[in-house]
Amino acid sequence: MTAAALTGFFTGFSLILAIGAQNAFILRQGLLRLHVLPLVLFCAVSDAVLIAAGVAGFSALTTAMPALPLVMSLGGAAFLVVYGALRLRAAWAGGHVMGRGAEAQSLGAALAMAAAFTWLNPHVYLDTLGLIGAVSTGFAPGSERLAFGGGAVLASFVFFFSLGYGARLLAPLMRSARAWRILDLIIGVVMLAIAGKLVAGVALG
């Protein structure tokens, strides 16, 4: 079971490690030290639910609902375009300094953003329901497969907590408005690039 758990951990960690919209959002919130605990918990628990579904074999959902990938791709792309445009506007306007305006976003609004980044991202379904679900079939049903899923879930918790709270180590670099403009520019470009990739995938599909 140890081998299954380790395989699950490293599989899950490798899939989530890539820079994406959700990770960029958590990084920014971690730098602001705003609602970090509920946000990282939300993202990790959401991943856990999806991983459990993938390991349990619910990847057949996309087969039963063939229009789901298209709907998720278009909805996710629209959301990312809006959020990316907001970050680019913030980069252009400048004026943000660490600690300023941290009270502006409520917990509910932050969780709603996290939910959109998580559940409107079709890639998360590919990674969890698809890839992790597929890899899990290499282990015997029962304790081995549960160990694999547990390892993948643990990877999500380790990653999101490290990202959310580890972002504070970058705080000394984010004291200036210029640093925030650069960060917002990078995040905005990443968001628009991901949105473009989603739309391109729909067009090619």
- Which pLDDT score, from 0 to 100, does residue 72 have? 67
Give mean pLDDT, residues 37-60.
88
CA–CA distance, 156 with 41 (Å, rounded to integer): 10
pLDDT at 101 over 50: no
Give mean pLDDT, residues 113-132.
83
- Domain count across the chain: 1
Nearest 5°: phi and psi at 158?
A: -60, -45
- Which pLDDT score, from 0 to 100, does residue 201 have? 73
Percent of the chain topping pLDDT 90: 27
Mean pLDDT, the chain, as a whole number? 82
Q: Which residue has the higher pLDDT, 33 or 129?
A: 33
Whole-structure pTM value: 0.74
Please report the DSSP string for 185-196 in residue order: HHHHHHHHHHHH
For residues 23 and 186, is the Cβ–Cβ distance under 8 A?
no
Which domain does 151 fall in, by range? 2-204
CA–CA distance, 123 with 73 (Å, rounded to integer): 9
List the single range of 58-67, 80-89, 153-162 with lowest mean pLDDT: 58-67
pLDDT at 48 over 50: yes
CA–CA distance, 171 with 32 (Å, rounded to integer): 8
- State the CB neighbour count (10 A cutoff) for residue 102: 12
- Which pLDDT score, from 0 to 100, does residue 148 have? 92
Instruction: Pick from 43-47, 100-104, 116-120 the range whose average pLDDT is largest.
Output: 43-47
**Structure tokens, 188:** 């905005």
Q: Which residue has the higher pLDDT, 202 or 28?
A: 28
